[in-house]
Amino acid sequence: MKISEQKQHFKKQLSGLFPSEEIQSFFNILSEKYLNLSRIEIALNPDRKISETEAEKFQRALLRLKNHEPIQYIIGETEFYGLPFKVNKHTLIPRPETEELVEWILSEQKLTTHYSLLTTILDIGTGSGCIAISLAKNLPNSKISALDISEEALKIARENAETNKVEVDFFQTDILVAETLPKKYNVIVSNPPYVRELEKKQMQQNVLKYEPDSALYVSNEDPLLFYRVISQLAKNHLQPNGKLFFEINEYLADELTDLLKNEGFKNIEIKKDIFGKDRMLKSTLNESAR
């Protein structure tokens, strides 16, 4: 089979399930993975023969795409903040909004921290390690730690740190039962579960069926559970003038702001993402709240 024939078959099989642009993107991603050919090389070599083994890989990917499995899980990797990351069913697929959170932290640190001083940062609920590893890569004079409840996720995070040639201290902890953290930090960051059960109907099938529930959803009755627990721990584990960063539910920004004020945090700032949604929060601990 020629590449051009495989491409037509691929489009025909997925037509009606996905927009044409997304189908084209899927084909390009799989061609780079399975054939080691770029989009341009595919266009320049339409008569290039595909082996039976390569055709079988495309067919297996087609079946998984038809079941709405994310393309990132199919190829086992994705890109975040310009870096390669392995992902699987035990880790969330990193989102562009989280890249914006990383960028905010980096810009703050570069503005407020002297490069001769060591910066200590803790990432809570690290998943694939995308936040911690991206910070470690871009803040050379830093000591980054990251925790997660899932040992399977931490296994992937450690592999990602090795791939990206950074040192991150990963450890397993259930933050909901933790009474203490290992040390004090200049920055604590978390992208915790924040999607309420009532919001599930807004989620895409590929998220609902494949991404880990424990990393996504919280109850309707206590949607700020993780934020409350983390902020209470942060009170005893942030250095003076230390900062707490969160990725947040766009519908709960006001409620979260009130929670943090009650816990003794000040200078609370909400930042919108590229889609205009309240998505990130920064705050500083009021020293009198300790």
Average pLDDT over residues 89-118: 85
DSSP conformation letters of 115-148: TTS-EEEEEES-TTTHHHHHHHHH-SSEEEEEEE
pLDDT, tens digit, 9 for 90 and up, residues 100-111? 999 999 998 876
Whether the pLDDT of residue 114 is over 60: the answer is no
Average per-residue pLDDT for the chain? 93
For the four alpha carbons of 221, 275, 128 and 203, in that order, the dihedral sign comes to positive
Sorted by sequence, the CB contacts under 8 Å of residue 239 that are 6+ apart come out as: 120, 184, 185, 186
Terminal CA-CA length for the chain: 68
- Residue range 196-212: mean pLDDT, rounded: 87
Taking the whole predicted model, whether its pTM rises above 0.75 is answered as yes
* Alpha-carbon span 111 to 231, nearest angstrom: 24
Tens of pLDDT, residue by residue over 226-280, are 999 999 999 999 998 899 999 999 999 999 999 999 999 999 999 999 999 999 9
Q: Report the pLDDT value the prediction gives residue 268, as an integer from 0 to 100.
A: 97
| Poorest-pLDDT segment among 4-18, 74-88, 112-126, 178-192 | 112-126
The confidence band for 141, taking pLDDT boundaries of 50, 70 and 90, is: confident
Work out whether strand 185-190 and strand 119-124 pair parallel, antiparallel, or are unpaired: parallel
Q: Going by C-beta distance under 8 Å and a sequence separation of 6 or more, which residues neighbour residue 73?
A: 64, 87, 88, 89, 93, 210
CA 175-257-276 angle, to 5 degrees, is 100
Looking at per-residue pLDDT, the higher value among 90 and 113 belongs to: 90
